[in-house]
Amino acid sequence: MADQGGVTGKIRLGCQANAWAIEPGRPETLFASLREIAGLGFSGFEVGFRNVMQLGDAKEELARERRGLALFGVHIFLHEYDAATCVPPVELAREVAEIGAELGAERLIVSGGPAGHATEAKAAALNELGERARRFGLGFAYHNHGPEMRGAEPEIEVLLRRTDPALVGLLLDAGHAFRAGIDVAEFAGRHAGRLTGVHLRDFQNGQQVPLGDGDFPLDAVARALREKSWSGWVLAEEEREDGSKLGLSVMKPARLALERAFGV
At 71-93, the pLDDT tens digits run 999 999 999 999 999 999 999 99
State the pLDDT at residue 6: 58
Decide if 6 is inside a domain.
Answer: no
At 159, which CATH number?
3.20.20.150
Number of domains the chain is built from: 1
Residue 41 is predicted with a pLDDT of: 96
d(CA 113, CA 80): 8
Cα dihedral angle (210, 16, 115, 147), rounded to 10 degrees? 0
pLDDT digits (tens, 9 = 90+) for 179-228: 999 999 999 999 999 999 999 999 999 899 999 999 999 999 999 999 99
Return d(Cα 14, Cα 235) in angstroms, integer.
5
For residue 211, the enclosing domain spans 11-262
Residue 1 forms part of a structural domain: no
DSSP result, 101-153:
HHHT-SEEEE-----TT-HHHHHHHHHHHHHHHHHTT-EEEEE--SGGG-SSS
Sites in the chain below the pLDDT cut of 50: none
231, part of any domain: yes
What's the confidence (pLDDT) of residue 167? 98
Q: What is the pLDDT of residue 8?
A: 56
Asked whether residue 4 is domain-assigned, the answer is no
The model's pTM: 0.95
With left for phi above 0 and alpha for psi between -120 and 50, is residue 137 left, alpha or beta? Answer: left
Does the residue 93 lie in any domain?
A: yes
